[in-house]
Structure 1
C-alpha cells in the first residue's frame, strides 16, 4: 500500500497485490465492506492505535484508514487460489472420470471415449503448466480387462499349491511339456477333499488313468461338499492350461436343470469374476437362444462357456454337431440321464465330446440298467454294449441276490459285482457329509413349541367346531377333504394371513372358514378390496411363531454375527 503523502503522483490510494503477499480473509472482508457505518469504523480504528502491531497488521490498519477517507482504489484478488494454493511441483489432480449410469450413455460412449482420449493435457487450478493425465479409456483399450484378470494372487501361509500334473524333468527342461497348476485364486478356498476331487476329475478327463477308454467321470458327492466349486476349479484350469502350454479346453458346455442356470452363472462369476467369457440361456426367447448358440459355436467366438438347460439343449442339439463346438461337457443333476432312451440323453450322447463330467448326489440306484445308462454315457463302451452288460453283469448279480440262489449263483454274483465295482470305481467318486465333521460344529436340533395368539386361537376353535369338520370326523369322508382340513390347520399355525388369502381367493380348503373374516382386526386392511396392509411389526404379533422368531433374530443380531437361514413350507410367510 502507498499512502497519499508518500506518493503525490497518485490521486488516490491503491492496494497492489505483491507476489509474496496474500491478503487475509479479514482484510478481504474489510475491503469489500466500504458501506459500513461510522460507528463500526471507529471501533475498528481504536485497537490499531493502541499498540505497535506487526507489519501485516500495520498494512491492515493503513488499509482501513485509506478506506475511511473514501479515496481508496481496490484491486480485487481471486479468492480461490489463496484458499486452495497449487504449485507446479505439487499438483493435485481430479479423480478419474466415472461414466454416468443413465439411459442414453451407451449410445454416446464411443464419442465420449474419443473426447476423454483427447483431453489428456489438463491444467490444474492455480498452476501455469499443463499436466499429462494418464486417463484410462476402457473402450479403446480392450486388453485392460485381461490385464486386470491376470493379476497374480499369492497363496496364504500354510496352503500348498495344487499341481495336477507335472512332466518328467528331462521333458520339462526341453520345454516339451508344462506343468498344470491350479490358479491360487481358487486354491486358497479349496478344502482337502475338494483338492482330491479336482485331482480325480483332472486325471479322468485328461486321460491319465491306467485304463483305456476313460475320458469322463462321475462326481457323486453328497450335497454340501462343493461339487460346483470343484467343477469350476477344473473348468477354469483347463480353459487356461494344458500339457503343451495351450488350453486343454477351448469351449465348455454346462447342462443343468432350468432352475439352476442362473445359479451356475452366479457361481462362476463369484469365483473367477470376468476371467471366463460365458453366456447363460435363462428365461430367453427363442431368437435370443438361437443367436447365443450361434455366437458360441462360431469358430472365432470369444465365448468359452455355455450354460444351458436340458430342455433347451435337446431342442437345439443339431447346432452342436460341428466339430470343435464342445471340448468339455458338465451335466449337473445327472441322475436325469439314467434312462438312455430319452430324447435328452440321446441328444447329449450324440455330442462329439469325449470329456464328460456328471454331477449327482444320488447316482447309484438299485436298478442296474439305470446305473449302466449313466456309466455308458460318461465313458461309452467301457462296460460293453447293453446286451453284454445284461448277460455278463446284471443277470448273475440279480440271481445271486435271490433268496433261493444256490451257492454257485451267489459266488458268481459276488465275483461279477466285485469286477463291476473295480471297473467303475476308477471314474466314480463318492463322498458323504461325514467329511464336513472336521470343519463344522456339532449339529444341535431344538424343537420350540410356540403358543397360538388370540387371533389364531379364535380361528382354530371356530374351524374345529364347524359343521364341515365335525361331519368329516364323524363320517367317512374322502381322503382329499381330510388332507385339505389338515393343510388349513398348518396354514393357520404358520400365520393367519395364509388363511385370509385362502378365503379371499376362494381356493379349495376354505370349508369351515367361510365366515372367519370377522375375527381379523379391521385396521390391518385398507381399501375396498380389503388388501392386507399389515403395519410396522403388527403382523408379527398375530402369529406365535413369528413373534418368537422376531425376538430370536433381534437377540442374535445384537450379540452374534451368525448367518441365519429361514426355511418355511410357504413362501408367503417369507414375504411378510
Structure 2
C-alpha cells in the first residue's frame, strides 16, 4: 500500500527514477477547484485498488523492473529536485481582486514567511512565491492617514497663508499644521512651531537666517514641537510640494530609540524613518545608503553624534539632507571637535538646535553654537571676540570704569537683539499651570569625623602648601580638587584612589591610618563595609540613608539618585542591597537598548521599583523619569547646566505628584565653592547677563583648597 513519506515499489519506466511528481498528479494540478475537491474525497484508496497495486508491484519485482518512487510531502505546492525548492503554483488569495475589503488586506493577515529546507539538505532553499495581490500604497496610506478634526475651542495652526495681492497666487497654498498634532499643542508650543517655521523657511526679517535654536527649559516639549514642524514640512510647502524630503535627527546615543518612539507615538507610520541604534557597522552603512538613495522612500534618519561623525562622508552630496535637527545641541559648543566640523560641512542650511542649556560656561561656547546655526551672522571668531566678548566681559568686572560699563552694556544689548531673532527661550515657569509644584532644597551636610580628619590632613600636606605658595599646572590642581570631591561623597572613594595610585592623591600620604580596620578587612585590604557601619562614615550618605528609610516606610514615592561618579553609584547599590530596596541602575556601561527598558520599568506604577541610580554623564539628558517624584543631586557639577539637566528628569509632562529636588552639599568644603560658582553662572541661561568673568583662574582654584565653615548657608540665609 502506498503511503506518504515512505519508499514504495511501483511499476514505472526507468526514466522516471528521479524524485518528482507523477504524471497523474501533474494532471490533477491543472484541474479546476471542483475536480480538486473530488480528488481530495477520493484520497482514501479502496482495498481493491490497493490489492491491484500490490499485485503490479509483485509482478514488477519478479521481472526485475522495480522502481522506487518517493511521494512528495507537499504535492500541490512544492516540487523538490536536487535540494531546490520551486513554487509550482503561485499563492492565490480566496477573495477577488486580492482582498475582500480594506480590513482584510493580506498585509495584516500573513504570518512571517519561513525558509523551506528539503530533507537531507543543511542549507535552506528560499521558496519564492509570487503574490498576485497588489496592495496599492495609496490604499494603505488612506488607512493610516484618516482625517482628524479639531475639538471645539481649538483653533487651527496656520503657519503661512499667501496674500491675495501676490502674483501667481493660484500656485501658492497655505501651510497648515495637521490637526492630528495641533490638538495636543499648548500655547507656548504653537508659538515655538511658528517661530521655527519662520526661521527655517526664510520668512524671518533677517535675510541670512535659515536656522534657529529652541532653548526652552527642560520639560516644555521641544521634541513635540520639532516633530510637529518636521511632519508639516515633509508634507507641505509654499507651492504645494513638500519643503523637506530628507531630514536627519542627530542626538546622543541614549536618545536614538527615544526619538524613534516619540515620532511613532505622535504620527504613527505616516513618516518613513530609520533609526541607527547599537547596530553593526554593516547595518549602519546599509541604513545610511538606503536613506541617501535618491529613490528611497525613507524620509527621516535618526543617528547619534558619533555615528554621524564616522560616516559623514556619505552625506557630502547635495540633496542628502533638507533639514537638520540636533538634539542636546550644547554638544556643539566647541567648534574644533570632529563632530562639530562634520555636521557643519553638511550641505543643509535649515538647521534646528535643541538645548535646554544653550549657555553653559562662556561666550565663546555661545558663539560656536550660533555660528553653527547661522554661519557668519556674528562675524568670525576673531571679530566676535574683539567686538562683543571683550567689551562685555570688561564691563562686568568690579573694577571697570564707567566708560567700560557703558560700552559693555551697549554691546550686550546689541548682541541680544541679534540673537533673539533666531533663539527662542521660555523657562519652565510655564509648566506651573500644568504640573504639580516643584520644591528645590539645598541640604547642607556636615562631614563625618573621618572625613574631617582626611580633609584637614590633605589641605595641610606639603604638596598642597606647595600648590598654594607656588605656581603649578592647573591640571594638577584640578586633580587635587577631584580627589576632595570624592572624599566629600565617601572616604571609600579616597581609599580606592590611594590604593590605585591615581593622580591627585599625593596629598593623602600616610592617610591609611585614619581608616577603621574593620571597614577594609577583606582580602588584600578589600572593602567589606563593616556590616553597615560604613554608611555613617559619610555625612551625606548618612542623611541619604535616613531619607530613603523615611520614604520607604511612610510614602509610596520613588526617588532618583544622581552622581557624577560610578564609584558613588556602587555605594548606592550596596546601600539598596543591604536595606532590600528595589533599585535600577543606568550608567555608561548600560546598553542603549536596555536603557529605555529600565526607564519604562521605573515609570510603570505596577512595578515595585523604589530607587533609580543615574549617572549624570550617561543619562542626565533627555530621559523621562516621571515615575519618581524625588531626586537627589548627590554631588555638584562644575557646569550648572549638567545639574539642571539631571534635575529635570522628574519634573516633566506626565508627572502627577509634587516634586522634590535635593541638592546635597558638604559644608565648608570644595562642594560649597563649586555650588557658589554655579550660582554665578546662572546668568548665562538668559543669554546675556551682568556677571563676573566665567573662566576659572588659577588663583580662584587655589582658594577652593581651604576648609571653612558653611559660607553658602550664611550667604543664602
- TM norm. shorter chain > 0.5: yes
Higher relative contact order (CA 8 A, sep 6+): 2
2:530 aligns with one of 502, 508, 513: 513
Corresponding residue number in structure 2 for 1:16? none
Residue 187 of structure 2: which of 183, 187, 192 is its match? 192
Taking a change above 3 Å as real, the CA distance of residues 300 and 399 of structure 1, as seen in their structure-2 partners, is: same
Name the TM-score, length of structure 1 as normaliser. Answer: 0.61
Separation of aligned partners in 2, 1:548 and 1:118: 62
Instruction: Determine if the alignment matches structure 1 residue 179 to structure 2 residue 174.
Output: yes
The verdict on how the C-alpha distance between 1:324 and 1:404 changes in structure 2, with shifts beyond 3 A counting, is same
The aligned residue for residue 549 of structure 1 is 552
In structure 1, C-alpha distance between the alignment counterparts of 2:547 and 2:359, rounded to whole Å: 43
Indicate if the aligned counterparts of 2:451 and 2:487 stay in contact, CA closer than 8 A.
no
Contact 2:520 2:529 (8 Å CA) reproduced: no
Task: Check if 1:141 corresponds to 2:135.
Answer: yes
Query: Structure 1: how far apart are the matches of 2:416 and 2:347?
Result: 27
Q: Could you say which residue in structure 1 is the equivalent of 2:94? A: 118
CA RMSD of aligned residues (A): 3.9
Once the 2 structures are TM-superposed, how far is the Cα of residue 566 of structure 1 from its aligned partner? 4.3
The answer for the alignment partner of 2:560 in structure 1 is 567
Partner Cα distance (2:456, 2:194) in 1: 64
Residue of structure 2 in register with 1:209 after alignment: 204
CA contact (8 A) 2:290 2:296 kept: yes
Q: Residue 166 of structure 1 corresponds to which residue in structure 2?
A: 161
Deviations 1:75-114 (A, max 9, x none): xxxxxxxxxxxxxxxxxxxxxxxxxxxxxxxxxxxx9x96
Is 1:379–2:336 an aligned residue pair?
Answer: no
Q: Distance in 1 between matches of 2:264 and 2:101?
A: 32
Moved more, 151-160 or 395-404: 395-404
Aligned to 2:349: 354
Any idea what SS the aligned residue of 1:240 has?
Answer: coil
Matched, 1:250 2:245: yes
Cα pair 1:332 1:359 within 8 Å, conserved: yes
Query: Which residue is 2:424 aligned to?
Result: 429
Deviations 1:362-393 (A, max 9, x none): 11245111111110000001111122222222
Q: For residue 169 of structure 1, give the secondary structure of its aligned residue in structure 2.
A: coil
Residues 472, 159 of structure 1: alpha-carbon distance in 2 compared, 3 angstrom cutoff: same
**What is the distance in 2 between the residues matched to 1:399 and 1:322?**
44
Count of residue pairs the alignment pairs up:
392
The CA deviation string for residues 200-244 of structure 1, in whole angstroms up to 9 with x for no partner, is 000000000111110000000000000000000000000000000
The 2-side partners of 1:198 and 1:550 are apart by: 45
What are the superposed Cα offsets for residues 417-464 of structure 1, whole Å, 9 maximum, x if unpaired? Answer: 1111111100000110111122224346899xxxxxxxxxxxxxxxx9
Q: Please say if residues 487 and 509 of structure 1, whose CA atoms lie closer than 8 Å, have aligned partners that are also in contact.
A: no
Question: Residues 270 and 411 (structure 1 numbering): CA distance in 2 closer, same or farther, change over 3 Å?
Answer: same
Q: Which moved more, 1:143-152 or 1:427-436?
A: 143-152
> Quick one: distance in 2 between partners of 1:504 and 1:153?
68
Residue 462 of structure 2 corresponds to none
Contact 1:279/1:303 (<8 A) preserved: yes
Unaligned runs of 5+ in 1: 1-110, 122-130, 448-463, 489-501, 517-541, 554-563
Q: CA deviation at 1:308?
A: 0.6
Greater share of residues in strand:
2
Return the offset for 1:509: 7.2
When normalised by structure 2's length, the TM-score is 0.49
Residue 115 of structure 1, CA deviation: 4.2
- Equivalent residue for 1:290? 285
Residue of 325, 332, 336 corresponding to 2:331: 336
Unpaired stretches in structure 2, ≥5 consecutive residues: 1-86, 108-132, 443-447, 459-482, 495-518, 534-544, 563-571, 577-581, 585-608, 610-717
Deviations 1:502-559 (A, max 9, x none): 999989972452799xxxxxxxxxxxxxxxxxxxxxxxxx999579637744xxxxxx
**Greater gyration radius:** 1
- Residue pair 1:214, 1:427 contacting (<8 A) in 2 also: yes
In structure 2, the CA distance between the partners of 1:185 and 1:550, relative to structure 1 (3 Å rule), is farther
* 1:451-500: CA deviation from partner (whole Å, max 9, x where unpaired): xxxxxxxxxxxxx99xxx79988995996678545789xxxxxxxxxxxx
- Report SS of the residue matched to 2:268: helix
| Counterpart residue number, 1:99 | none
Return closer, same or farther for 1:260/1:505 CA change in 2, 3 Å cut-off.
farther
Task: Tell me the distance in 2 between the aligned counterparts of 1:254 and 1:331.
Answer: 6
> Structure 2 CA distance, aligned partners of 1:425 and 1:544?
43
Equivalent residues of 2:394, 2:405 under 8 A apart: yes
- Does the aligned pair in 2 maintain the 1:194–1:226 contact within 8 Å? yes
Deviation at 1:409, TM superposition (A): 2.3
8 Å contact 2:162–2:169 — kept in the other structure? Answer: no
> Are positions 1:316 and 2:319 aligned together?
no
